[in-house]
A = this chain, B = another copy of it.
């Protein structure tokens, strides 16, 4: 770490024997520059290792070509693909991506967002934020904001999310097709989309005439949350025969709790996650879950953001993508249980074969 002052555009201009305006033009790839001068400028740039100061650029241009991305939880591989999708699009149109995380703490998330706002990023993508805070809504009046993972409320905010109700229904229906009735849910607490998934679960249960069996354990979109929610559920008598966790991380926590209780999956209890993260796909785990097109979600979020940045659209958009159930090995028929009459055994058998 030497103390040499970073070269500025003036240093380059002096070295190349031209004006700083010309250097600026060359660096930005302007076409109307004579080949000789361009060459000498580029030589000077290389010799001095000149790197334009993005702050000075941003100040005068009143834009940064940076989009900020808030990632709610670095422990959740869900965001890896989402961010990859964002970056792919951003790269294609010359935008840079800067990330930040609030570690699932609303206050920290607000601070992270504030940092982005102070930096005057051109747009903000919020990956499953804990809240659509007042700060966010205010911010969205002055720059483009897209929320991923929950439907935005404010009209100035766009969103990209999957259809949680449809996903939840698919899960419940899948369990019912095996003959389950006591299908419980571990919710995602304050997490993005958690309320939608819980309500989706409840409505699905009602639709399938299982409203009397609705049970929700309090959890979170984390392993710890899933663990706690599962313990709550496992303590109930009669015990649920299937658990639908709000996301894959929670499902893993639930699995830990289930195994700690000496139960087997899926023989004693079926388990379903959400998100179809790389974790769920692990052969050893082979978690039945709901797939979301993560890369597409990221791309779509970036597309929406760009539309707003460019001002080609002012109307809010709520993109809803269709989720798909991915059946793996953590779901199966419920155990025989004398306390409850077996449920439509024929249907159970046929579905079990279909798997």
Contacts and interface: CB of A to CB of B under 8 A. Distances in A.
A253 to B, nearest CB: 9
A4 to B, nearest CB: 7
Interface stretch (A29-37, A141-149, A172-180, A183-191): A141-149
Interface string A107-128: 0100000110111100000000
A235 to B, nearest CB: 18
A283 B255 contact: yes
A53 B84 CA distance: 29
Given A75-B77, A77-B74, A84 B59 contact: no
A13 to B, nearest CB: 19
Contact of A260 (B53, B80, B283): B283
A93 interface: no
Contact of A51 (B54, B117, B314): B117
A314 to B, nearest CB: 7
A120 B55 CA distance: 8
Interface stretch (A17-25, A95-103, A211-219, A319-327): A95-103
Report whether over half of chain A's contact residues are helix, strand or loop; otherwise say mixed. Answer: mixed
Nearest to A69: B99
A142 B98 contact: no
A255 B285 CA distance: 11
Most buried by B among A115, A118, A256: A118
19 contacts: A1-B142, A1-B311, A1-B314, A2-B142, A2-B156, A6-B120, A51-B118, A54-B115, A54-B120, A55-B119, A74-B74, A74-B79, A96-B115, A98-B98, A99-B100, A223-B282, A256-B282, A256-B283, A259-B284
